[in-house]
């Protein structure tokens, strides 16, 4: 309808014209589709379960309060198996066949980068709430991919600050699985540690899924580390820590690492071998705020489980998308992408801001240490201090 008529119609005519001039979004009663491509089977299924629970809780709340501008959200789940080839194929299916407006849940840094490329080809948007590789919002950044969780670089900054305060002269050995996430997180930690003057004595890269770490113990003994930094994950960390204990190496050193190493999913299986482990993450269920207390209570009532950072970030990403769609006035990719850049929104962790230049969310992070079998908060680092520079050059 003519823009001038829309602006100047009055009286009864104005009411009729207003209905015709309203954005198509407001009159659209079709559901907004969100694809959740996450591991529902295999070694990373426990992480995928937290992703699923977090997104479901957010969608239930939003739909119960009227949806997004009157439109309900429909979740469509696919098992990504944390396998880049599977993730690529199923991302295509979600965009092409299911016609999802937005995709999230991706686990595995290499797969996340691939999904960003699929999103670009399909002119849709995607987000990760789990993947750590700094390349995702750095050298491999995509204009259609956003990250709401704290990446390896933010975690490394916080961990290096803690080590410098408590064990500044320690010999540090870094261990990571031999694939995108492992090598990238180790590289980021080592670079940050060296800039801070810490003593890195070596790097090891066992294959992903390593069953026997003892073949690396000779190198560990030769390195004589006081601290081992690790970005192993899941059962790999369970085996690594238990074998260090079995061969008498565990008691000689502090274990520290990326947030994927020791999680709510594997900490019980580790027993005492996880005691004292130090990490940095963007969330703890112990955060003493009204928003987090409500979130953890609602999460526990729904799932009979405690939320971890994957559940919290996956809950928060749905509200991120909701805020962007409402700001954009619809689900058009270009409009929502523009709305996401620089957007500030509320989460159980507190406020987050999506940095426009590289699509990395800026948030406070917390130094966590395992004490008596559970994580406790020992320090807090402001997001602006932990975030690091924007290194994306694609957009």
pLDDT, average across residues 263-278: 91
Task: Report which secondary-structure segment, H or E, holds 310.
Answer: helix 309-328
Q: What percent of the chain stands above pLDDT 70?
A: 93
Beta carbons of 359 and 392 less than 8 angstroms apart: yes
Dist CA 29 CA 71 (whole Å): 6
Q: What percent of the chain stands above pLDDT 90?
A: 85
pLDDT, average across residues 366-370: 95
Which residues are paired to 352 by β-bridges? 345
Identify the CA nearest to 112 among candidates 198, 184, 168, 62: 184
Q: What is the mean pLDDT of the chain?
A: 92
Domains of the chain, CATH where assigned? 31-150+286-363 (3.40.50.2300), 153-281 (3.40.50.2300)
Dist CA 133 CA 236 (whole Å): 18
Identify the CA nearest to 392 among candidates 179, 156, 189, 144: 144
Global pTM value: 0.85
| Phi, psi (rounded to 5 degrees) for 257 | 165, -170
DSSP code of residue 96: H
Least confident range from 25-34, 131-140, 185-194, 298-307: namely 25-34
Dist CA 106 CA 93 (whole Å): 14
Convert the pLDDT of each residue in 116-130 to its tens digit: 999 999 999 999 999
Which long-range contacts (C-beta less than 8 Å, at least 24 apart) are formed by 91-100?
91/35, 91/37, 91/115, 91/118, 91/119, 91/126, 92/118, 92/122, 94/35, 94/37, 95/35, 95/119, 95/122, 95/124, 96/122, 98/33, 98/35, 99/33, 100/33, 100/34, 100/35, 100/76, 100/124
Q: Count the alpha carbons within 13 Å of 367 in the hemisphere toward its beta carbon.
A: 19
Identify the CA nearest to 162 among candidates 139, 196, 187: 196
Least confident range from 198-207, 337-346, 368-377: namely 368-377
Provide the pLDDT for residue 21. Answer: 43
Dist CA 12 CA 157 (whole Å): 61
Dist CA 61 CA 65 (whole Å): 6
DSSP code of residue 105: -
Provide the pLDDT for residue 27. Answer: 58
Provide the pLDDT for residue 29. Answer: 83
Provide the pLDDT for residue 234. Answer: 87
Dist CA 75 CA 91 (whole Å): 14
CA angle 82, 51, 30 (to 5 degrees): 105
Instruction: With a cut of 50, say whether residue 24 has pLDDT above it.
Output: no
Dist CA 39 CA 47 (whole Å): 7
Dist CA 200 CA 187 (whole Å): 11
Beta carbons of 373 and 275 less than 8 angstroms apart: yes
Read out DSSP for 160-224? Answer: HHHHHHH-TT-EEEEE--SSHHHHHHHHHHHHHHHHTT-EEEEEE-PPTT-S-GGGGHHHHHHH-
Provide the pLDDT for residue 252. Answer: 84
Convert the pLDDT of each residue in 83-117 to its tens digit: 999 999 999 999 999 999 999 999 999 999 999 99
pLDDT, average across residues 264-286: 93
Q: Count the alpha carbons within 13 Å of 167 in the hemisphere toward its beta carbon.
A: 18
Provide the pLDDT for residue 227. Answer: 98
| Phi, psi (rounded to 5 degrees) for 74 | -115, 125
Instruction: With a cut of 90, say whether residue 342 has pLDDT above it.
Output: yes
């Amino acid at each position: 309808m003519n823009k001038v008529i829309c602006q100047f119609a009055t009286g009864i005519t104005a009411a009729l014209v207003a209905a015709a001039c309203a954005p198509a979004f407001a009159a659209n009663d079709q559901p907004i589709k969100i694809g959740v491509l996450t591991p529902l089977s295999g070694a990373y299924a426990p992480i995928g379960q937290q992703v699923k629970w977090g997104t479901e809780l957010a969608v239930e709340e939003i739909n119960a309060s009227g949806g997004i501008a009157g439109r309900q959200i429909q979740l469509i789940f696919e098992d990504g198996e944390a396998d880049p080839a599977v993730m690529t194929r199923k991302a295509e299916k979600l965009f092409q066949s299911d016609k999802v407006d937005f995709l999230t849940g991706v686990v595995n840094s290499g797969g996340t980068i691939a999904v960003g490329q699929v999103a670009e080809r399909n002119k849709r948007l995607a987000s990760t709430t789990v993947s750590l590789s700094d390349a995702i919002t750095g050298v491999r950044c995509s204009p259609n991919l956003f990250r709401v969780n704290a990446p390896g670089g933010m975690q490394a900054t916080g961990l290096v600050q803690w080590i410098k305060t408590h064990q500044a002269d320690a010999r540090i050995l870094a261990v990571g699985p031999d694939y995108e996430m492992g090598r990238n997180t180790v590289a980021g930690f080592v670079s940050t540690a060296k800039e801070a003057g810490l003593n890195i004595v070596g790097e090891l890269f066992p294959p992903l899924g390593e069953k026997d770490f003892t073949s690396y113990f000779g190198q560990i003994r030769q390195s004589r580390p006081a601290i081992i930094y690790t970005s192993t994950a899941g059962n790999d960390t369970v085996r690594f820590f238990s074998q260090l204990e079995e061969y008498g190496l565990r008691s000689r050193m502090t274990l520290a690492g990326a947030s994927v190493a020791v999680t709510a999913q594997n900490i019980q299986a580790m027993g005492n071998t996880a005691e004292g482990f130090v990490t940095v993450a963007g969330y703890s269920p112990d955060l003493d705020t009204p928003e987090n207390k409500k979130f953890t209570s609602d999460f526990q009532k729904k799932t009979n489980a405690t939320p971890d950072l994957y559940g919290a970030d996956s809950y928060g990403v749905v509200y991120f998308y909701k805020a962007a769609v409402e700001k954009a006035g619809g689900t058009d990719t270009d409009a929502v992408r523009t709305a996401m850049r620089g957007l500030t929104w509320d989460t159980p962790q507190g406020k987050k801001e999506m940095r426009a230049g590289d699509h990395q969310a800026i948030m406070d992070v917390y130094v966590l240490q395992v004490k008596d079998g559970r994580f406790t908060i020992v320090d807090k680092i402001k997001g602006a201090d932990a975030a690091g520079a924007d290194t994306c050059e694609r957009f």
